[in-house]
Amino acid sequence: MSKILLTTTINADIKTVFDLSRDIDLHQKSTFKTGEKAIAGRTSGLIELEETVTWRAKHLGFYQTHTSKITEMEKPFKFTDVMLKGRFKSFIHQHLFKTEGKNTIMTDILEFESPAGLIGQLFNYFFLKNYMTEFLLERNKLIKSTAENIEI
């Protein structure tokens, strides 16, 4: 199983960062390179506990769908999405938030496993982990810039 741990410091209040992190519309903006689109379940606005979203995007040259469910939510401190259907053998993404001074510390913990045994493990190690890290960094960059430029 591969694990990605990312921490982003954002000069904005925790509620704003939390809400932007679960905003389906903002997520779609951050994934314009893959054409990711919410096609079922919650397709716009803020996803909530027990809701699902199905994404369709072109990754690695192939159109793929991925359905996740929000299985845990403690506003504005954390939420977790878990893959119900998709290409991964398993996929769990924890989103954690804490206040530190005037900043919000946003932490992503993504654990995933590819199918196909040893071949999948090698693919994870040599390619997929870096690909997924860049995917999250792009998303986090947009969350950060949006949160820091909101006028209150």
- Residue 124 buriedness (CB in 10 A; 0-12 / 13-18 / 19+): buried
Closest to 96 (Cα-Cα) out of 73, 69, 68, 128:
73
Which amino acid would we find at residue 32? Answer: F
Question: How confident is the model over 98-151, as pLDDT tens digits?
Answer: 999 999 999 999 999 888 777 777 788 778 899 999 999 999 999 999 999 986
Predicted TM-score (pTM) of the model is 0.93
Tell me the two tokens of residue 143: 């969350």
- Of residues 93 and 61, the one with the higher pLDDT is 93
Q: What's the pLDDT at 152?
A: 55
Beta strands in the chain (DSSP E): 2-10, 37-41, 52-59, 62-74, 78-85, 90-100, 103-113
| pLDDT of 29 strictly over 90 | yes
Tell me the two tokens of residue 71: 């299985």
Exposure string of 32-47, with b = 16+ CB inside 10 Å and e = fewer, is: eebebebeebbeeeeb
First to last CA, the chain: 42
